[in-house]
Amino acid sequence: MSLPLLLILLMILLAVGGYGIAAARQPGGSRRVYGATLVICVILLLLALARLLAGQGVQTLILPFGLPWLGAYFQLDALSAFFLVVVNLGGAIASLFALGYGQHERSPERVLPFFPAFLAGMNLVLVAGDAFSFLFAWEFMSISSWALVMAHHQESANARAGYLYLVMAFFGTLTLLLAFGLLAGADGGYTFGAMRAHVVSPGLAALVLVLALLGAGSKAGVVPLHVWLPLAHPAAPSHVSALMSGVMTKVAVYGFIRIVFDLLGEPVAWWWGGVVLALGGVTALLGVLYALMQHDLKRLLAYHTVENIGIIFIGLGLALAFQANLMYASAALALTAALFHVLNHSLFKSLLFLGSGAVLTATGERDMEHLGGLIRPMPWTALAFLIGAAASSALPPLNGFVSEWLTFQAILISPERPQWMLKFLVPAVGALLALSAALAATCFVKAFGITFLGRPRSPVAAQARETDLYSLTAMFILAGLCLLAGILPGLVVDGLSAAVGQLNGSALLPVQRSQPWLTLVPVTDVKSTYNGLLMLLFIGVSGFTAAWLIHRLASGRVRRGPAWDCGFPEPSPMTQYTAGSFAQPIRRVFGSILFQARERVVMPPPGDLRPARLEVEIHDPIWERGYVPVVNAVVAVSSRFNYLQYLTIRRYLGLVFGALVVLLLGMVLWR
């Protein structure tokens, strides 16, 4: 009976949003709101966990509101339960963080009402059981998060980001609406059950796949529909950024999985998987390359989200391709990898965004070129951020490694596939994935190194203070979960099995609980295994041994020698490595073609005392080639028809009359 309880809790969450309007004016009001969302999210999390571990089976509920005579359908199955876990874990941690972070909010009246509503919207998407309630919840989630993006609308960049977000969100909902329409068919069975039963012809099914990719992909941030994401996610307050990047993109992934794997039924053609796979590969590589070019900490994290969405879609594409070839064991592996990465990314991306929020509160700066040396004033934040950075760089023994390793396992068993196109495509995507994993590591060396190491590059960075206890607790819970999921991956894989089995004709990975020493065995133990505990032990022992040896063998004697400045000939912090200089090699290798990056040395004329400057010019090919022409076309068409705004009354009447007559004539002739 968890579904009615869940819906009641969501109603309470909405009520908390209503209370947020009043709470914004009260002292301590934000604490009460975030405390309430924390408690509700924890209860929802426990409910969802219980449901997930209970195995398969669908619980449905029909409520007498929504569309007249139809009612609103709600459902709870293992897939929803897994995503509910992700959403409410993120929501609980973000609320805990906001207990401290929310005190610094300049305009709480723009955040407090929408934060609980946003959480409720995401939860509602996951339990919706018909197209109408799904789309309603989806739009509710979009609009409440838009309001949060616009919380600091006085900055023109934020207003622009919000506008772009709104346009893309409406576009996505439109395509999802069309996808549901095709799924429902002419009879209009808009409940998920009716859609499952309705068989769509192969051509239309392919169209549904494309529409779902466009709709869910635009929300998740699949290249080339990602343009709004790196602008909108950083514009919100940091705990909301963590939710949007870590959690809302996962709700979009849920939408894609629900439509393509569940409602659409078995994939008909292998090329479905190929399309999703190729998109995932491109998204992963481009996302991380964009991230490397960024010097804004939060925007870097947002672009890195795009990369991880690519990794998830690679797993989903592989699963589709395997299912089309009836290789359900392999499909189970790919699906597990994708869902595991969903969980992992929500953990470490939330952690990193919360860390950037702590930095933002301490310094008021998001630009890495003005940060530096924060490890001394903020040691705990730095440690948590480092764990998150290592996890997202896929370093063992943390969780990011496990899911990327599982994705690679799924790629490596692909030569068994019959289609020659897939035989070429899958290794190519594997190479892209490997490249983007390496580049992600570079990206986080840059993010951590420039922000936390070295010397402060600005006075604000020098005067930073460690953040409050709530925020630290939130970050360290996430860091601990990253470590736990990394060393005990078998338990997570077992937990996912109900959701995977539901999507995959009940084919599953081997049960991991019964493997000796908590080893992760994706296929069989002769092929490849991974043991997080062993890895932790090895890294710990070798690390401590190395440290001990260095301290033991290195001489402790003080020596005096000639001053050699270790790369700092000047005491000024300006002489340090900057974010821009760190990214320069990558920019030269990839950026000169992809981003048309040009570097120019501007020399002042002789006699001018100004220093020489190195200027970098970077273009965004997707925005300039893909979006600007569309925008220009819309502007051109609308200014062409602008004169229609200034007609006489008779002309307008004439237009209506003419349109009516033409339509009627069309009707007569068409028959």
Partner 1 sequence: MRGLAFDIAHFLAGGMVLVSFMLLYQDRVYALLNIFALHALVLALAVGWQAHTQEAPHLYITAAVALIFKAIVIPVVLRRIVQQLGIHRTLEVVGGVGRDMLAGTGLVALSILVMLPVTQGADPLAREDLAFALAVVLLGLLLMVNRHNAISLVIGFMSLENGLILAAAGARGMPLAVEISVAFSILIALIVIGVFLFRIRERFDSVDMQAMDAFREGRRK
Residues that bind partner 1 in the complex, under the rule CB under 8 A:
642-643, 645-646, 648-650, 653-654, 656-657, 660-661, 664-665, 667-668, 671
Least distance to partner 1, CB of residue 635, Å: 13
Residue 21 tokens read as 């309007």
Q: How many Cα neighbours within 13 Å face the side chain of 34? A: 24
Least distance to partner 1, CB of residue 477, Å: 58
Cα gap 613→615, rounded to integer Å: 6
Q: Are 16 and 33 in contact (CB under 8 A)?
A: yes
Least distance to partner 1, CB of residue 670, Å: 11
Would you say 56 or 632 has its CB closer to partner 1? 632
Count of helices and strands (H, E) across the chain: 26, 4
Cα–Cα nearest to 495, from 315, 657, 311, 340: 340
Distance of CA 621 to the CA centre of its chain: 22
Would you say 547 or 662 has its CB closer to partner 1? 662
Would you say 610 or 650 has its CB closer to partner 1? 650
Would you say 634 or 656 has its CB closer to partner 1? 656
Write down the H helix ranges in 54-113.
78-101
Q: What is the DSSP string of 533-570?
A: HHHHHHHHHHHHHHHHHHHHHS-----------TT-SS
Would you say 65 or 646 has its CB closer to partner 1? 646
Least distance to partner 1, CB of residue 648, Å: 5
Would you say 609 or 667 has its CB closer to partner 1? 667
Least distance to partner 1, CB of residue 661, Å: 7
Would you say 550 or 668 has its CB closer to partner 1? 668
Cα–Cα nearest to 218, from 493, 527, 627, 548: 627
Tell me the CA distances in angstroms from 414 to 266, 336, 410, 461, one per residue in order: 19, 16, 7, 49
Cα gap 104→13, rounded to integer Å: 23
Least distance to partner 1, CB of residue 67, Å: 22
Least distance to partner 1, CB of residue 642, Å: 7
What's the DSSP call for residue 587?
I
Would you say 549 or 656 has its CB closer to partner 1? 656
Least distance to partner 1, CB of residue 633, Å: 19
Bridge partners (DSSP) of residue 61 are: 74
Write down the H helix ranges in 488-625.
489-503, 532-553, 579-586, 592-594, 621
**SS3 assignment, position 631:** helix
Q: What is the DSSP string of 651-668?
A: HHHHHHHHHHHHHHHHHH
Distance of CA 35 to the CA centre of its chain: 25
Q: Are 57 and 135 in contact (CB under 8 A)?
A: no
Least distance to partner 1, CB of residue 637, Å: 16
Would you say 557 or 650 has its CB closer to partner 1? 650
Least distance to partner 1, CB of residue 163, Å: 23
With tokens 């000796």, the residue in question is 516
Would you say 631 or 653 has its CB closer to partner 1? 653
